[in-house]
Amino acid sequence: MNYLNHYEILGVDAHFTRDQLKAAYHSKLFQTHPDKRIESRNSDDLDGGDFARNENSGFRNSSSVEEIKVAYAVLADNEKRAAYDIELAEQSLKSGLNFTGAGLDEYTLEEFEYLEIDGKATWMRDCPRCTSTHSMVLSEEDLEEGSPDGTGGFHIAVSCQTCSLWITVSYEEEGCE
């Protein structure tokens, strides 16, 4: 079963304006409401007959009127939305997903533990998904291979040695902070 979050139900991004939220809410209600769907299906001149096209192509609107109302109630209330965003972030972290758009969670090198192993600088951290201890490891040589991030710093991808999670680590060149 695919779970749609409140943002997906209403078709808004996390940086919506109040007007965008209201417009999306009304549009989704119109598309989903049984009486309005019949009008959309029977009207040839309706602009934006997305529901009818979806119906003809075998897709259906997966959100109910109740889900749309709940999504709007949460996203329209700043306190409820903040709590919901925290819940989404926690679920995302547990599943190894993120909302940055890059496909990888982002961490800074400061979030790693610095150790010297056999005289070599090493940074380690526990995996945020499987929680395996020190399963994400970076060496000084790894950091030298990092890519510029466009802001004067660098980033590099590192994987957990236990599970399949990859993360991006951002860092500054020593002495450039």
Average pLDDT, the chain: 79
Indicate the CATH number of 105-171 among 3.10.350, 2.60.40, 3.10.660, 1.10.3210: 3.10.660
What pLDDT digit, counting tens, does each position of 35-79 carry?
Answer: 665 444 444 444 444 443 334 333 344 588 899 999 999 999 989
Domain boundaries, the chain: 6-95, 105-171
129 in helix, strand or coil?
Answer: coil
Superfamily of domain 6-95: DnaJ domain (1.10.287.110)
CA distance linking residue 166 with residue 160, whole number of Å: 6
pLDDT at residue 149 in the model: 81
Hey, what are 93's tokens? 């972290």
pLDDT at residue 175 in the model: 52
Q: Are residues 146 and 162 in contact, defined by beta-carbon separation less than 8 angstroms?
A: no
pLDDT at residue 173 in the model: 81
Within a 13 Å sphere around the CA of 169, how many CA atoms are in the beta-carbon half? 28
pLDDT at residue 103 in the model: 60
